[in-house]
């Protein structure tokens, strides 16, 4: 029972908040990034936190409301988790606002980028804005009264609103109204673009949309005296529960769930400190919000919109652009099939271009020798070149099958649109297995060559999305390996038909064998260590939560196996505990790119075994999703990935290390500075220049 002690584990929810703190730290550090990139991290932190409340906090709230007292692996009840979450988030809001208002905004002003209030403008500027309001903003607004004749208005998820106290100038009666700040309009209004606003000094000036609306409320309420107005913002439960056995048409069920998402239970109510108790109580009563769900936040509410500032044309305030290498273009003239036939091709995005992945589908669609394409689609984006290539392939008469995951959280609407478009051109569209979200990233292309059929595979750790391919670190493997092709083919048959194939020998497939195979490889490492005195495990993932796997890693550490864990986000394991995890190290790298690749490497007595893929070590990935981890057979590629992982482990610029108490500290040592992401960029440029010079 040693490994069941609650003190050995970190709470899943609090570990996530620690991760988001590391994201925030990228904004807090004036030396970490150029100025507008620091603004980006403020936006990412805020957006992350909104999603966390919509999904994770909403779930804990449900447990609390149901009276559930079950304790987590680290010993906390739902109520205790909610208390700790609130305390940590309030502190983070304070840090974020101190950084944005007292550090970043003054620095932006020095660079000629200003945020102004309407009241600070000249009379001429105010008149220009008033004209703009009447023409461009006023027609979109809908003031909603609340009294005996008007029910309390519905307010959608993530909506920003003004609560307005009014007085009837004729009767003297006090009134209350709500005006929604329209999300279809830009939250940040660039004054330089507004007609009549004089700005010939080169300074870029912004105002907040809500400030402009607030300054013109008299247009919405003639013959009413505006007493006060107060900004507030809602975050609702946005998870969708689907009873698939009762959902004859999954597509329609998802669409209905998306509509209901707008009006789930309120899990966070953001208000300004100036909001009086009377208005606060009115909102809390009518929105059914408890005191613990109310957050007082100074300044603007909902800062995820700050990402729009990256549109400003100030290259000196942003990361230096780079052109990724494209070894397939450079070495094979872009002929993707020739490149894969020559040898397995491993790309490391974004340092290596994502374009070969797009070209793989494009060339398959146009190639008369290609007979069929099968692909899984999870998050593809709103303007997917890959989906368009699949549609072209179907129009060319090829057999095309697409597994479209409609339950990809917050991408459901995009996926519904693409699913219908694919069906319209004759693509065989499937939505996966009942009860399981399909998260694996696979493509299988069948091509006729010399009167025989040859199968080409793309296996990846990330989504089929060129946009995220520029900012997420992910691996791509192209191969014609027959063993893998056989098993990928069997998996597609299971996803689109009634196959119950489970005898996967090379692939690790969730929910069939991923956990068991990983634990077997951990235990094998222990046995080999006992025999040879050598053993090492490197795992890179986004999250480590699964208790059985953690206990296996603890056992391996106790036996002497060296374990290096590179975990971007949640980690429920504690390293460095005497007699338990002395041989385990945990680091997290937060930098310019989002660390997204998953890699699992075992020393295996000197015969290194490497798996890449889509699965993190979480119960949902192991039990409730279709995931794959695929082996890399080419030993030179295995060595390349191990070198990548060792470089990340040597990072002492962008890496954080978890201590035995479960808390993180920035790695600081006397060794030469190693910024792994910057070095990968340098290596990418070197590779490109080296190939071009040959």
Question: Tens of pLDDT along 324-341?
Answer: 999 999 999 999 999 999
CATH number of the domain enclosing 463: 3.30.870.10
Hey, which residues are catalytic here? 439
- Residue 95 and residue 59 share a domain: yes
Assign 691 a pLDDT band (cuts: 50, 70, 90): very low
- Residue 395 and residue 374 share a domain: yes
pLDDT at 676 over 50: yes
Indicate the DSSP class of residue 312.
S
- Residue 576 and residue 667 share a domain: yes
- Residue 531 and residue 492 share a domain: no
Percent of the chain topping pLDDT 70: 93
At 692 the pLDDT is 44
- What angle, 0 to 180 degrees and rounded to 10, lies between the N-to-C axes of helices 514-532 and 547-559? 0
Q: What is the mean pLDDT of residues 469-493?
A: 96
- Which of 388, 129, 411, 440 is closest to 261 using CA atoms? 411
Q: Higher model confidence: residue 197 or residue 53? A: 53
Q: What is the mean pLDDT of residues 608-636?
A: 97
At 335 the pLDDT is 95
Task: Determine which of 6-20, 221-235, 249-263 has the lowest per-residue pLDDT on average.
Answer: 249-263
- Residue 601 and residue 485 share a domain: no
Q: Is residue 581 part of a domain?
A: yes
Q: Is residue 200 part of a domain?
A: no
What domain count does the chain have? 3
- Residue 442 and residue 348 share a domain: yes
At 254 the pLDDT is 55
Quick check: 509 and 628 in contact, CB under 8 A? yes
Helical ranges in 560-658 per DSSP H: 619-623, 635-649
Which pTM does this prediction carry? 0.93
pLDDT at 13 over 60: yes
The residue among 85, 103, 121 that closes a domain is: 103
- Residue 552 and residue 627 share a domain: yes
Each residue of 312-328: pLDDT tens digit? 999 999 999 999 999 99
pLDDT at 690 over 50: no
- Residue 440 and residue 363 share a domain: yes
Mean pLDDT of the chain: 91
- Residue 430 and residue 565 share a domain: no
At 261 the pLDDT is 55
- Residue 512 and residue 485 share a domain: no
Q: How distant is the alpha carbon of residue 312 from its chain centre?
A: 24
Residue range of the domain that includes 99: 1-103
pLDDT at 490 over 50: yes
At 382 the pLDDT is 73
Q: Is residue 234 part of a domain?
A: no
Each residue of 167-191: pLDDT tens digit? 887 777 888 899 999 999 999 999 9
Percent of the chain topping pLDDT 90: 77
The residue among 450, 466, 496 that closes a domain is: 496
- Residue 519 and residue 650 share a domain: yes
β-pairing verdict for 625-631 and 609-613: antiparallel
- The neighbour count for residue 675, using CB atoms within 10 Å, is 17
At 410 the pLDDT is 55
At 246 the pLDDT is 47
Assign 407 a pLDDT band (cuts: 50, 70, 90): low
Each residue of 79-137: pLDDT tens digit? 999 999 999 999 999 999 999 999 999 999 999 999 999 999 888 888 999 999 999 99
Q: Is residue 566 part of a domain?
A: yes
Q: Is residue 50 part of a domain?
A: yes
Beta strands in 37-156 (DSSP E): 113-115, 144-145
Task: Determine which of 71-75, 191-195, 348-352, 604-608 has the lowest per-residue pLDDT on average.
Answer: 191-195
At 287 the pLDDT is 93
pLDDT at 689 over 90: no
Q: Is residue 232 part of a domain?
A: no
- Residue identified by tokens 């809390």 is 284
- Residue 483 and residue 369 share a domain: yes
Each residue of 357-389: pLDDT tens digit? 999 999 999 999 999 999 998 887 778 899 999
Q: Is residue 301 part of a domain?
A: no
Each residue of 642-667: pLDDT tens digit? 999 999 999 999 999 999 999 999 99
Helical ranges in 171-249 per DSSP H: 209-215
* Rounded Cα–Cα distance for residues 21 and 19 (Å): 5
Q: What is the mean pLDDT of residues 608-635?
A: 97
pLDDT at 298 over 90: yes
* Rounded Cα–Cα distance for residues 111 and 114 (Å): 9
**Residue 477 bridge partners (DSSP):** 346, 459
Assign 233 a pLDDT band (cuts: 50, 70, 90): very high
Each residue of 63-80: pLDDT tens digit? 998 898 999 999 999 999
* 689 phi/psi in degrees, rounded to 5: -65, -35
Indicate the DSSP class of residue 568.
S
Q: Is residue 49 part of a domain?
A: yes
The residue among 103, 125, 144 that closes a domain is: 103
At 693 the pLDDT is 44
Quick check: 673 and 652 in contact, CB under 8 A? yes
């Amino acid at each position: 029972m040693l490994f069941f002690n609650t003190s050995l584990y970190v709470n899943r929810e609090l570990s996530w908040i620690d991760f988001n703190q590391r994201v925030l730290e990228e904004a807090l550090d004036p030396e970490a990034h150029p100025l507008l990139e620091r603004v980006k991290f403020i936006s990412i932190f805020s957006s992350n936190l909104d999603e966390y409340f919509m999904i994770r906090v909403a779930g804990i709230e449900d447990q609390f409301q149901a009276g559930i007292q079950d304790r987590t692996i680290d010993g906390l009840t739902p109520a205790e988790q909610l208390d700790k979450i609130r305390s940590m988030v309030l502190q983070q809001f304070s840090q974020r606002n101190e950084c944005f208002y007292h550090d970043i905004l003054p620095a932006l002003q020095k660079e000629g980028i200003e945020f102004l209030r309407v009241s600070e403008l000249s009379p001429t500027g105010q008149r220009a804005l008033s004209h703009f309001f009447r023409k461009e903003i006023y027609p979109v607004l809908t003031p909603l009264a609340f009294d005996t004749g008007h029910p309390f208005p519905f307010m959608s998820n993530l909506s920003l609103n003004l609560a307005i106290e009014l007085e009837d100038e004729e009767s003297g009666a006090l009134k209350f109204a709500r005006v929604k700040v329209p999300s279809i309009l830009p939250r940040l209004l660039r004054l330089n673009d507004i007609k009549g606003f004089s700005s010939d000094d080169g300074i870029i000036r912004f105002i907040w949309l809500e400030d402009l609306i607030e300054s013109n409320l008299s247009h919405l309420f003639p013959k009413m005296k505006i007493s006060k107005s107060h900004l507030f913002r809602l975050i609702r439960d946005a998870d969708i529960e689907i009873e698939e056995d009762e959902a004859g048409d999954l597509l329609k069920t998802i669409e209905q769930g998306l509509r209901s998402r707008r009006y789930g239970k309120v899990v966070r109510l953001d208000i300004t400190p100036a909001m009086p108790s009377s208005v606060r109580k009115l909102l809390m009563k009518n929105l059914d919000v408890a005191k613990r769900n109310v957050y007082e936040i100074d300044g603007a509410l909902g800062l995820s919109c700050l990402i729009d500032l990256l549109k400003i044309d100030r290259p000196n305030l942003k990361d230096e652009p780079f052109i990724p290498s494209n070894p397939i273009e450079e070495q094979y003239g872009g002929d993707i099939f020739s490149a894969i036939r020559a040898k397995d091709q491993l790309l490391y995005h974004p340092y290596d271009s994502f374009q070969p992945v797009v070209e793989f589908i494009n060339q398959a669609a146009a190639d008369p020798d290609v007979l069929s394409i099968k692909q899984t689609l999870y998050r593809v984006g709103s303007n997917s070149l890959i989906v368009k290539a699949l549609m072209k392939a179907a129009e060319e008469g090829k057999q095309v099958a697409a597994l479209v995951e409609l339950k990809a959280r917050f991408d459901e609407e995009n996926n519904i649109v693409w699913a219908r478009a694919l069906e319209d051109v004759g693509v065989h569209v499937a939505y996966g297995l009942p009860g399981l979200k399909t998260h694996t990233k696979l493509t299988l292309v069948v091509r006729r060559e010399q009167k025989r059929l040859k199968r080409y595979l793309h296996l990846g750790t990330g989504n089929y999305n060129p946009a995220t391919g520029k900012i997420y670190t992910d691996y791509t493997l192209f191969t014609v390996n027959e063993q893998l092709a056989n098993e990928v083919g069997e998996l597609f048959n299971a996803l689109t038909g009634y196959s119950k194939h489970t005898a996967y020998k090379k692939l690790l497939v969730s929910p069939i064998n991923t956990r068991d195979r990983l634990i077997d490889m951990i235990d094998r490492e222990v046995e080999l260590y006992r025999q040879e005195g050598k053993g090492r495990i490197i795992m890179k993932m986004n999250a480590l939560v699964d208790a059985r796997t953690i206990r296996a890693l603890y056992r391996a550490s106790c036996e002497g196996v060296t374990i290096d864990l590179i975990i971007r986000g949640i980690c429920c394991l504690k390293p460095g505990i005497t007699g338990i995890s002395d041989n385990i190290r945990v680091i997290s790298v937060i930098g310019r790119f989002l660390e997204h690749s998953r890699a699992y490497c075992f020393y295996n007595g000197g015969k290194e075994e490497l798996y890449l893929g889509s699965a993190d070590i979480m119960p949902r990935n192991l039990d409730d999703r279709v995931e794959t981890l695929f082996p890399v057979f080419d030993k030179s590629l295995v060595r390349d990935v191990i070198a990548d992982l060792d470089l990340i482990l040597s990072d002492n610029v962008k890496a954080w290390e978890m201590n035995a108490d479960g808390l993180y500290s920035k790695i600081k040592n006397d060794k030469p500075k190693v910024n792994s992401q910057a070095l990968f960029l340098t290596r990418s440029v070197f590779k490109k220049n080296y190939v071009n010079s040959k």
